Amino acid sequence: DSGVTQTPKHLITATGQRVTLRCSPRSGDLSVYWYQQSLDQGLQFLIQYYNGEERAKGNILERFSAQQFPDLHSELNLSSLELGDSALYFCASSAAGGATNEKLFFGSGTQLSVL
Amino acid sequence: AQSVAQPEDQVNVAEGNPLTVKCTYSVSGNPYLFWYVQYPNRGLQFLLKYITGDNLVKGSYGFEAEFNKSQTSFHLKKPSALVSDSALYFCAVRDTYKYIFGTGTRLKVLA
């Protein structure tokens, strides 16, 4: 068990809908990373937060947004969903920020299916 | 921008034989390289990392990786493969505040 909790584990929804994915980092970790894993694009970095502040952004669509709350949990919001958004979404955490070359601890992911 | 490449989608090896999973990198400055493993229905797990120092890095579950600056490679190795090593392996590089992952290599160890 990595100590990173993601909910829900599975999510099935329809095109055009909006969903929220939740991540609780390991106790004491200040950084949260979001990744999207799909068969054709591998593991794509979406966004990183450190202690509530956005620190790095990848190829995240404008329909997607995220935030990290004062208790350090994070939420990834996906709106106007399209079939192509179907993927496994991972959250990872680390004690500090990416600049320290720390290892990441990954959650088990949320499998999103858009029908 | 930093990047890593994993040239093989799948590697098959017989149980008991040595295994190698390849990774090459492209970075500006010093490379900070990682290997992760993903078992079915699980998140990625850290195996090992190279920051500086010895070119041979030892990690979890008997895995090691060899950093080669002249060939810009960071191949993952294990002297004797186990069936339980069958999984998806990712090479990664740190890029400022994020980590860039390769496309993954599926390792299949045959009994």
Residues in CB range of A101: below 8 A, 6 or more apart: B32, B49, B51, B94
Work out the mean pLDDT of chain B and round it to a whole number. 94
Residues of B in contact with A105 (CB under 8 A): 46
> Percent of chain B having pLDDT more than 90?
82
Residue A100 clears pLDDT 80, i.e. is over it: no
The per-residue pLDDT for A97 is: 63
Grouping H, G, I as helix, E, B as strand and the rest as coil, residue A108 is coil
Closest CB to B97 among A43, A98, A107: A98
Calculate how close chain B gets to A99, using CA atoms only, in Å. 5
Task: Give me the pLDDT at residue B1, please.
Answer: 79
Please give the full DSSP string across B46-67, using - where no structure is assigned: EEEEE-SS-SEEE-GGG-EEEE
In chain A, what percentage of residues exceed pLDDT 90?
84
From A42, A99, A105, residue closest to B101, measured CB to CB: A42
Query: b/e map of A47-65 (b: 16 or more CB within 10 Å)?
Result: bbbbeeeebbebebeeebe
Does B96 contact A at CB distance below 8 Å? Answer: yes
How far is the C-alpha of A86 from the C-alpha of A34, rounded, in Å? Answer: 15
Nearest-Cα distance to chain A for B22, in Å, is 16
Chain A residue whose CA is closest to B39 = A108
Does the pLDDT of residue A22 top 90, yes or no?
yes
A14/chain B closest Cα distance in angstroms: 23
Predicted confidence (pLDDT) at residue B107 exceeds the cutoff of 60: yes
The answer to whether A90 contacts chain B (CB < 8 Å) is yes
The minimum CA-CA distance between A82 and chain B, rounded to whole Å, is: 23
Nearest CB neighbour to A90, from listed B43, B97, B100: B43
The string of pLDDT tens digits covering residues A28-52 is 999 999 999 998 778 999 999 999 9
So what's the pLDDT on residue A43?
92
Q: Give yes or no for residue B110 having a pLDDT over 90.
A: yes
CB pairs under 8 A between A and B: 61
pLDDT for A99 beyond 60: no
CA dist., res. A59 & res. A65, Å (int): 12
In this structure, what token pair is assigned to residue A49?
């937060």
